[in-house]
Amino acid sequence: MITIRERVNLKPYNTFGIEAYCDFFTEINSTSDFLELIKTDTYQTNRKLIIGGGSNLLFTKDFNGIVVKNNLKGIEVLLENDLEIIVKAAAGENWHQFVLYCIAHNYAGLENLSLIPGCVGASPMQNIGAYGVEIKEVFEELEAYSMTTGEKRIFKTKDCGFGYRESVFKHKYKNQYLIASVSFRLKKQVKLNTTYGAINTELAAMQITSPTIKDVSNAVIQIRQSKLPDPEVSGNAGSFFKNPEVSADKHDELKQRFANLVAYPLANGNYKLAAGWLIEQCGLKGYEMNGAAVHNRQALVLINKNNCSGVDVFALSSYVLQKVFDTFGVLLEREVNIV
């Protein structure tokens, strides 16, 4: 049985800790709850917003409509053999806790994605990635329900249009489906990926020479905790900007002007630039504006430092975009969903 509440403060439901109100609010704990919800007049006659952990949202104003919090829970094994296992997790499961569950059972593939905030359902929407691993590499399928008809649909990898922090759920099918569960194809024979970022350096500092997936996870957790703010202390949504992709010609031009340019060659001949480095070179690390700030240890992250509004965070992000463009001629793109 669903309960629809009126005029609810969304501050507890977004990791930026931004105060914003919605006209109506409900939580679903089963797919039958959702199928019941879509038949109500309140749902059918209002704008709709589905949220999970609220870790990729910036509310810049009140939401005139109904907010639906996805609380679907459950983890089950769909297939297992000597080499691999397919694990299905409900969309409302906490992402990091799900990763730890897989590690505890020695299912390899997600360890590099430890401590990413949010819920399982958001992982394919964003094609989340960290330390050389993206969801599309371990994705098997997802189960979703039409937000208008309630019809169930299975999305395979080819249906999802995965790109860098992209999927069809951010554009083509935005606000059209409720993701109910996601299935991952993980390995039982471990093949570690430790070459990206500072993982090997951290493992060496931990005096580990033959790492397990648990060791890699611990290293990633240590790295993230050392440079990223805790949302419980400073409201944030993790990386606010995408790392931009530029042509080889643009890369070469910037390399001539900035000898220490941080860039990574891509298979298509282009280069991916480190957005955090670009922002830092503009002197913006730690920069504050009306209670919003660029984090002083990781310039990719914007924080709610002093009870700011969503408008304040957005204004700061616009300032950062302009400064980077003026300095480098590179236009950054926001990664966070602006509401």
Active site residues: 165, 239, 335
Q: Residues 141, 102: contact at Cβ < 8 Å?
A: no
d(CA 48, CA 174): 11
Q: Residues 336, 18: contact at Cβ < 8 Å?
A: no
CA nearest to 221, candidates 334, 297, 71, 113: 113
Q: Residues 116, 96: contact at Cβ < 8 Å?
A: yes
d(CA 118, CA 110): 15
- Contacts of residue 208, defined as CB under 8 A and 6 or more positions apart, other chains included, come to 215
Q: Residues 303, 295: contact at Cβ < 8 Å?
A: yes
Residue with tokens 């394919």: 124
CB contact burial 157-194 (16+ within 10 A = b; e otherwise): beebbbeebbbbbeeebeeebbbbbbbbbbeeeeeeeb
Q: Residues 57, 237: contact at Cβ < 8 Å?
A: yes
DSSP SS3 for 44: helix
| Phi and psi angles of residue 134, each rounded to the nearest 5 degrees, phi first | -125, 155
- Contacts of residue 1, defined as CB under 8 A and 6 or more positions apart, other chains included, come to 36
- Contacts of residue 250, defined as CB under 8 A and 6 or more positions apart, other chains included, come to 271, 329, 330
